[in-house]
Structure 1
Amino acid sequence: MQLVFATNNLNKIKEVQALIPNHIKLLSLNDIGCFEDIPETQNTIEGNSIQKATYVKTHYGYDCFADDTGLEVQALNGAPGVYSARYAGEQRDANDNMNKLLSELEDKDNRAAQFKTVITLQLNNKQHTFTGICEGDITYTENGKLGFGYDPIFKPKGFQQTFAEMDLALKNNIGHRGKAVLQLVDFLNS
């Protein structure tokens, strides 16, 4: 079986590939010749996930799955949420995003946040969604060099290190994307 993962983010592909069974061949957007930016114009994480998976199935004909992830911070009424990747602007720079978020939380005691990933699977002309959530807190400073995005400032509940200080196996085991991917894998194996 082969499935397209509707992303060209090599970090995401690496994380997901570690969880997908060997009998499933994972293809990236590059592998199928999709070089355009897939629209992400919905106002929810779920909506963007569905939009991306539908786009690949409609325009390229492949069974596929797409994910969308957002960081939802309590003190900011759920922001950056669906706008997490471009929180500090269309340049989608992780450092700019982290700096903006830390700046906005400067005078806030409530640092509670959660990462939310929604995966939409388009398989045999049916659509299925899977959601993974990881609760935690936003740190005051960046810590760690592993991971990507907001990982250096997100400390999962029950842990003393940020995602960027964890190895991939631990992050996949407790993280939002790992939880959603495991639901996807369970579904594919059933």
Structure 2
Amino acid sequence: MSLLTITAYFIIPIYTILFAWGTDWFSLNFSVLGNISSRKNLFLLWGIIIGTYFYYILKRIISGLPRNRKETVMSITALLLLVLAVITPYLPDSQPLHAVFHVILSFLASISLLICLYMIVWKLYCMNQEVYRPYLHCLLVITVLSAFLFFLTGIVSTVLEIFFILSCTFLLQRLYRRVQAPKNRWRYDRL
């Protein structure tokens, strides 16, 4: 089992759930949790793990795509926005301007990641519809369920963040394995 597989299926899910353990998943979010003094370093470590995994796996997938400049720019944008969001404090009472920037950066990081995923999956789907149709459907389900969770709680809640991070992680890991599969590698490289 590779380090990428261990990270995707064990480290990220366990760390993400443990980070939010013992809190109200429907009325709080990672921004609030990450600015509790006892969880600041845990939040920073979580951001490093997530950012590193997503950047690395996206880079590996994107490197095999033809004309991949847009996907590369979008993945780097998502990473930079995530880094800025994690290091910008969310303290609405004492630093309201920073809190607003944190919310905007966090939202834009997630949207950038989603756009990047759609760009990648759509390009792969256009290259081989039979193989990549399930990935496109999965991405659509992630989007719809994320929107449902947002409207259910009225905020970007912990449950939404956990669902989004874990589902995107699992999707990316499976997509990476599919793209790297020897059976499809020839067809993928040829197109």
TM-score, normalising length from structure 1?
A: 0.30
Higher helix share: 2
* Larger RCO: 1 or 2 (CA < 8 Å, sep 6+): 2
Q: Flag the structure with larger Rg.
A: 2
Higher strand share: 1
